[in-house]
Amino acid sequence: MKDDILYDLYWGEVRPGEKIPDKPERIRQLEARFRTGMLEVAEAAGEAAVERLDDLLSVRNEIESYYGSVDFVRGFKLGVKFMVAVFEDDLKEGDGDG
């Protein structure tokens, strides 16, 4: 069943995170700015401050990951509701051809 999205979904082969395109230039710039900023903090405040900041950034990342996953699930469910609404009349009539 080549190129069958439902088959792939059933067998756990749908992994959009593995198909992330190359980073845009803006993201590369932001990452470089972040690295430079962390080095500046290390020089100005010391290694302990950098470790604490890194810990806080990890906490922030965990929070954002949670909200990202919740938004994804809610968006997916909303998309399914749209699809059901589109085909609802056909389903009621028993005509699956669209």
Can you tell me the mean pLDDT for 4-20?
A: 80
Q: Which helix (H) or strand (E) holds 48?
A: helix 47-93
Can you tell me the mean pLDDT for 1-28?
A: 80
Question: What is the distance between the alpha carbons of residues 41 and 77, in angstroms, rounded to a whole number?
Answer: 43
Band of the pLDDT at 97, cuts 50, 70, 90? low
Question: What is the distance between the alpha carbons of residues 75 and 68, in angstroms, rounded to a whole number?
Answer: 10
Question: What is the distance between the alpha carbons of residues 22 and 19, in angstroms, rounded to a whole number?
Answer: 9
Question: What is the distance between the alpha carbons of residues 7 and 88, in angstroms, rounded to a whole number?
Answer: 23
Can you tell me the mean pLDDT for 82-88?
A: 87
Residue 16: both structure tokens together: 């959009």
Q: Quick check: 5 pLDDT over 90?
A: no
State pLDDT tens for residues 33-76: 999 999 999 999 998 999 999 999 999 999 999 999 999 899 98
